Structure 1
């Protein structure tokens, strides 16, 4: 051993420490040490041999992707396909396809990933982003990107936020989405008991034409659309959910606007004005009705009005934003930064709202936030998945300066936090502590996660049928 340490020219303090362990090494290696000494004159091979059972995080330069599999969970709160990427060094990376999206969006990328070093996150993302699209179609690309960052963090033994440039905050503020209740007094009571009393400092609720569907004199033009699953009387002229807002020609009457305003007023009376309350899911109506609705609730000081019209109607968004005083917000279905840039440059919205599982993943969402920050635009983040995607959001939010709040859609899901192990609890008094563990900071808890597995799905079944690439991917000539 002395010959070996002399050859490696270790510092004297290191040599003394190693000498103190000499007896342990002699006993622990026994015959193996004798074999190691056969490599006399080859110090690198000697050191590799005698430390072969020492646990390492990884050899990042030699890390390779060997497999990709899916476990499709349900009720977390929606359907969420969990991605597992395996490597040649035993490291596992976790990602998640966006809620209610197909696992195939991720599986078809497997043939593009095999053999690649997952630490080259941006390089791989540029190769696969052509297979993403707006809304759920981005789910595979974004879920894989999450898993790559998880692997890179584990390989280098650092949390993901550190690889994004460090963090602006130690805790990430949550805003709690709450399913609506028709009676506003009961809804306000639920908000207080299940949200405010648990420490949440930011709320979101739904109100809109769904509240008015069964009330006479409150909507014009709604009688030919099926506005909800309970409505079996409507003579439909098309699929309401698939018809873009301006084309339904539904309008809210003055009576309907008064009802909505009173509904919001009672919510405010119940939770007070110290707490920000945002609003979402108003229904499918045109820009004129959106402006009238926005003006009707202005005095209740809502944090924002979300997705009043589809995100791609930039001119209409600017028309709405210029006409009302309540902040406007959109973006949960936008893929990549370019479309956010259009909205920001046009000053069409007051805030942006990417869903990391659609917007391009962790790094692309930070780039979106950084661009908005340079133009004075705040960023809230949409989220409705399992703790895997949640932690990806937490790292991104921690590393982005203009971040405001992250949605938590699983507050009422029993056992939601138990789906993972690691940095726990995930939420403390309405805030998510930013983990300092490598990668995303959590591992899938298989025992608990299996309880959420969809009945017709298998647990991370083999996916060899996706191993072979069957197309020419280059999108230029």
Structure 2
């Protein structure tokens, strides 16, 4: 097994001396983090949130800390990434992929803090002055066209000129005629309510068979949809290109892939037009840059997925600033309780649908332990295949 090299000279940042995890409970989901400290007193944070397996990611992060991180130089990101992936025999997968991602974020955070520069300076510099974002999670409430339309108007008024939503309820495979009609009516109502200048993205949650996906793409085409996300399960990745050939709506996806190796089939099959790596799943900054470069090679743009906390929004913004082929970044920040922002001190604010250029060293966010202690994790579960899930009723 690969081992830590404790004899190689290090920078003044020192060697990793402590790896710990913290979790915060919210009504949306439990947010989890890994915090890494060096013997020189530098601290870096990364997000290891899993929608349902926060205890598992936390346990693995702490175990990986003992096996691969203690005594390591936090600047050796490529070696540490390789050590965790190969040395732990991960071979992909959600829990391991998330842990590697969070550790990689924390290492870059330490590096930026030591050097006194924001992380985007370490991963390519700035390609733009601001990063555009879109809102998700805004459509809590009844699955009715009027209710969706009202919430859409409120969200746009709050400063989000782009929205994503899933109008399909608990449907999967095929929809009944009534369900298909209701879903399309929701899309039509949102478009009419917000007008022609707001970007709309449709979420499919990877659950339709091919002929149903074709029907839905045809049905929503009149409403000027910016993309249709994950219309098919990824077990049918070879058929994504078939859908792309049958519609003018861009197809997007990729959030569930955890490294460049898992992304290989997506690129080989030209499955999508818009690639959606998640910084807290794809392998952190180290792997995000490689996936974005491969996307550029295949004439694809990048719209990072982010259904996690404001920490991940800020952390991903650093990668987004440095990505030449960026399209837009996702955020759920408008859905969250005020104490979340107290627990995550220093998150970038969303203003008029954009995130500003970071100025703080590292990622720029500190965890406030006292707030975490006041809001412990709850272990909630969202069942997207149960009627009413979009109301965010905890189950």
Query: Which category describes the TM-score, using the shorter chain as reference length?
Result: 0.7 to 0.9
Q: Distance in 2 between matches of 1:97 and 1:256?
A: 36
Deviation per CA, 1:282-330, whole angstroms, max 9, x where unpaired? 5733111111111111111111111111234221111111122211111
Q: Which has the larger radius of gyration?
A: 1
Q: Determine if contact 1:94/1:388 at 8 Å carries over to the other structure.
A: no
Which residue of 33, 47, 50 corresponds with 1:96?
A: 47
1:113-192 correspondence to structure 2 within 5 Å: 113-130=69-86, 131=88, 132=90, 133-177=92-136, 178-180=138-140, 181-192=142-153
Q: Distance in 1 between matches of 2:111 and 2:81?
A: 13
Alpha-carbon shift at residue 399 of structure 1 (Å): 0.5
Q: Does 1:204 align with 2:128?
A: no
Q: Does 1:84 align with 2:35?
A: yes
Hey, what does 2:344 align to over in structure 1?
Answer: 420
SS in 2 for 1:86: strand
Q: Distance in 2 between matches of 1:117 and 1:159?
A: 19
Q: Which structure is richer in relative contact order (CA contacts within 8 A, separation 6 or more)?
A: 2
Deviation per CA, 1:86-140, whole angstroms, max 9, x where unpaired? 1101111111103333212312211210000101111111111234423344111
Hey, what does 1:258 align to over in structure 2?
Answer: 181
Hey, what does 1:107 align to over in structure 2?
Answer: 62
Hey, what does 1:390 align to over in structure 2?
Answer: 313
SS in 1 for 2:334: coil
Q: Determine if contact 2:301/2:325 at 8 Å carries over to the other structure.
A: yes
Q: TM-score, normalised by structure 2?
A: 0.85
SS in 2 for 1:449: helix
Q: Does 1:297 align with 2:220?
A: yes
Q: Determine if contact 1:60/1:155 at 8 Å carries over to the other structure.
A: no
SS in 1 for 2:132: strand
Q: Determine if contact 2:12/2:40 at 8 Å carries over to the other structure.
A: no
Instruction: Tell me: CA distance 1:309–1:105, structure 2 relative to 1, closer, same or farther (3 Å).
Output: farther
SS in 1 for 2:33: strand
Q: TM-score, normalised by structure 1?
A: 0.71
SS in 1 for 2:328: strand
Alpha-carbon shift at residue 429 of structure 1 (Å): 2.4
Hey, what does 1:68 align to over in structure 2?
Answer: 19
Which residue of 363, 371, 391 corresponds with 1:448?
A: 371
Deviation per CA, 1:454-474, whole angstroms, max 9, x where unpaired? 269xxxxxxxxxxxxxxxxxx
Q: Distance in 2 between matches of 1:105 and 1:179?
A: 34
Q: How many pairs align? A: 359
Instruction: Tell me: CA distance 1:62–1:353, structure 2 relative to 1, closer, same or farther (3 Å).
Output: closer
Q: Distance in 1 between matches of 2:48 and 2:224?
A: 35
Q: Distance in 2 between matches of 1:171 and 1:62?
A: 30
Q: Distance in 2 between matches of 1:124 and 1:95?
A: 15
Alpha-carbon shift at residue 375 of structure 1 (Å): 2.2
Hey, what does 2:390 align to over in structure 1?
Answer: none
Q: Distance in 2 between matches of 1:312 and 1:283?
A: 9
Moved over 6 A (4+): none
Instruction: Tell me: CA distance 1:179–1:135, structure 2 relative to 1, closer, same or farther (3 Å).
Output: farther
Q: Determine if contact 1:78/1:384 at 8 Å carries over to the other structure.
A: no
Hey, what does 1:466 align to over in structure 2?
Answer: none
Alpha-carbon shift at residue 376 of structure 1 (Å): 1.5
Q: Distance in 2 between matches of 1:283 and 1:339?
A: 16
Q: Distance in 2 between matches of 1:336 and 1:318?
A: 21
Q: Distance in 1 between matches of 2:302 and 2:374?
A: 34
